[in-house]
Amino acid sequence: MIRFSDKLNQVHDRLHRAASAAGRDPGSIRLIAVSKTQPASAIRSLYQLGQRQFGENYLQEALDKQAQLADLADIQWHFIGPIQSNKTRDIASHFAWVHSVDRLKVARRLSDQRDPALPPLNICLQLNPDGEASKSGVAPAQLAALAGEVARLPRLRLRGLMAIPAPRTDYPSQLAGFRAVADALAQLKQQADHDGPGGELDTLSMGMSGDMEAAIAAGATFVRIGTDLFGPRF
Ligand X SMILES: *Cc1c(COP(=O)(O)O)cnc(C)c1O
| Chain positions contacting ligand X, by CB under 6 A | 34, 36, 57, 80, 164, 208-210, 224-228
Between the alpha carbon of residue 14 and those of residues 35, 77, 212, the distances in Å are 19, 23, 8
Q: Which is nearer to ligand X, 84 or 227 (CB)?
A: 227
Q: Are 157 and 204 in contact (CB under 8 A)?
A: no
Q: Which is nearer to ligand X, 8 or 192 (CB)?
A: 8
Residue closer to ligand X by CB (options 164, 218) is: 164
Q: Determine contact, residues 126/100, Cβ cutoff 8 Å.
A: yes
For the chain, report the end-to-end CA distance as a whole number of angstroms.
14
Residue 167 DSSP symbol: P
- Compare residues 26 and 210 and give the one whose CB is closer to ligand X: 210
C-beta separation of 104 from 124 below 8 A: no
Task: Give least dist CB 54 to ligand X, A.
Answer: 12
Task: State in angstroms the smallest separation of the CB of 85 from ligand X.
Answer: 19
Backbone angles phi, psi at 76, to 5 degrees: -115, 120
Tell me the closest approach of the beta carbon of residue 177 to ligand X, in angstroms: 14
Considering the complex, what minimum distance in angstroms separates the CB of residue 199 from ligand X?
21
CB nearest ligand X: which residue?
A: 226
